[in-house]
Amino acid sequence: MDELPQEIPIAHWSHSSLMAFLRNPLAWYKRYVEHVHDTPSSPAGVIGRAGHVALQHFYGGITKEGAVELGLEHLRSVADFEINFGVARTRAAKKKKRTSMERDYLQAVSFYLARPPRYDVVGVEVKATATVKGIPLPLKAISDLVVRFKGDRRALDIVDHKFVDSFSGYGAAKTLFVIQAIFNYYTVKEKYGKPVRRFILHECKKRKNIDGSPQMRRYVIDFRDCKDDFAVFHRLLNDATAELSRGKIYLPNPSDMFEGENSFDIYRLGL
């Protein structure tokens, strides 16, 4: 990595940036290098962000009712042009979709807050950057919650929330979760200067299970068991950074279900 040129088009890596680069390099370039953020969010993404706003305020100390209202206020503040409504193109269809989004949001948050996990909270929405030996660019991450590890109050856990349509099949072994966990591990460790033990992820299903099974699942990644994952993470970050240094032409990924069409429009127009 010492042979990398000084000019790399980004100042740091984040989990979202790395995943975007691996999924669709041209869409990544548009967002993270040119800083153009005009791609509409999916309704699920808007609901998820509103849920995060609610939990941010709840764990920040306000009442459940107040937290739910602030999340709903955030959802309603998102303009129509910021949402990808899909086939809902008329004003009436978009209004109907928004009503459905509010219903899903209120239901999902009520599932979570019915019996919310209790933590000794150290920080909420913790933004941090870390310089890691062996990785040429700094790492940046936002942790939903940083809490005290119950087995050792000198150590910390990281808590993440996801509002989903269906539970993840791989649980704590899911690669996306492990990569995100390591980003958060390094940034929280550097910010607080304390040992970081676990990454705890709560998935909350937005639609009610017909069979009456729990609406939430909890996955735990213990960093003491992740030696091989850390090695792969370092290799991936180094390989991705080396790829950036080549001054390549970024090509679209038309099969990307989120940004395929948009990335190909950019390519078609020569932008």
Please tell me the total number of residues recorded for the chain in this structure. Answer: 271
For the residues 256-265, what does the mean pLDDT come to? Answer: 73
CA 16 – CA 53 distance, rounded (Å): 18
Sorted by where each starts, the structural domains of the chain and their CATH numbers stand as 43-114 (no CATH), 121-225 (3.90.320.10)
Least confident segment among 2-16, 105-119, 250-264: 250-264
Please tell me the predicted confidence (pLDDT) of residue 172.
86
R_g of the chain, CA atoms, integer Å: 20
State pLDDT tens for residues 77-109: 999 999 999 899 899 999 999 999 999 999 999
For the residues 251-262, what does the mean pLDDT come to? Answer: 73
Distances (CA, A) of 107 to 1, 68, 102, 207: 49, 10, 8, 7
Give residue 271's pLDDT band: very low, low, confident or very high (50, 70, 90): low
Give residue 6's pLDDT band: very low, low, confident or very high (50, 70, 90): low
CA 42 – CA 8 distance, rounded (Å): 30
End-to-end alpha carbon distance in the chain: 31
Global pTM value: 0.89
Three-class SS state of 218: strand
Cβ-contact 112, 51 below 8 angstroms: yes
- Average per-residue pLDDT for the chain: 91
CA 174 – CA 229 distance, rounded (Å): 11
Q: What DSSP element (H or E) covers 110?
A: helix 91-114
Three-class SS state of 142: strand
Residues whose CB is less than 8 angstroms from the CB of residue 155 and which lie 6 or more positions away in sequence, other chains included: 148, 149, 194, 195, 196, 197
More confident position, 250 or 203? 203
User: Which neighbouring-strand residues pair with 139?
Assistant: 13, 130
* b/e sequence 55-91, b meaning 16+ C-beta within 10 Å: bbbbbeeeebeebbebbbebbeebeeeebebeebeee
State pLDDT tens for residues 133-165: 999 999 999 999 999 999 888 999 999 999 999
List the Cα angle 166/172/174 in 5-degree steps.
70
Q: What DSSP element (H or E) covers 48?
A: helix 43-60
For the residues 68-79, what does the mean pLDDT come to? Answer: 97
Q: What share of the chain has pLDDT > 90, as a percent?
A: 75
Looking at residue 41, what DSSP letter applies? B
Give residue 196's pLDDT band: very low, low, confident or very high (50, 70, 90): very high
Does the pLDDT value for residue 2 go beyond 70?
A: no
Does the pLDDT value for residue 230 go beyond 90?
A: yes
For the residues 220-233, what does the mean pLDDT come to? Answer: 96
Does the pLDDT value for residue 1 go beyond 50?
A: no
Q: Which two tokens stand for residue 5?
A: 């040129």
Please tell me the predicted confidence (pLDDT) of residue 28.
92
Exposed, middle or buried, 213 (CB in 10 Å: 0-12/13-18/19+)?
Answer: exposed
CA 104 – CA 204 distance, rounded (Å): 11
For the residues 62-70, what does the mean pLDDT come to? Answer: 97
Does the pLDDT value for residue 4 go beyond 60?
A: no
* b/e sequence 161-186, b meaning 16+ C-beta within 10 Å: bbbeeebbeeebeeeebbbbbbbbbb
Cβ-contact 50, 161 below 8 angstroms: no
Please tell me the predicted confidence (pLDDT) of residue 72.
98
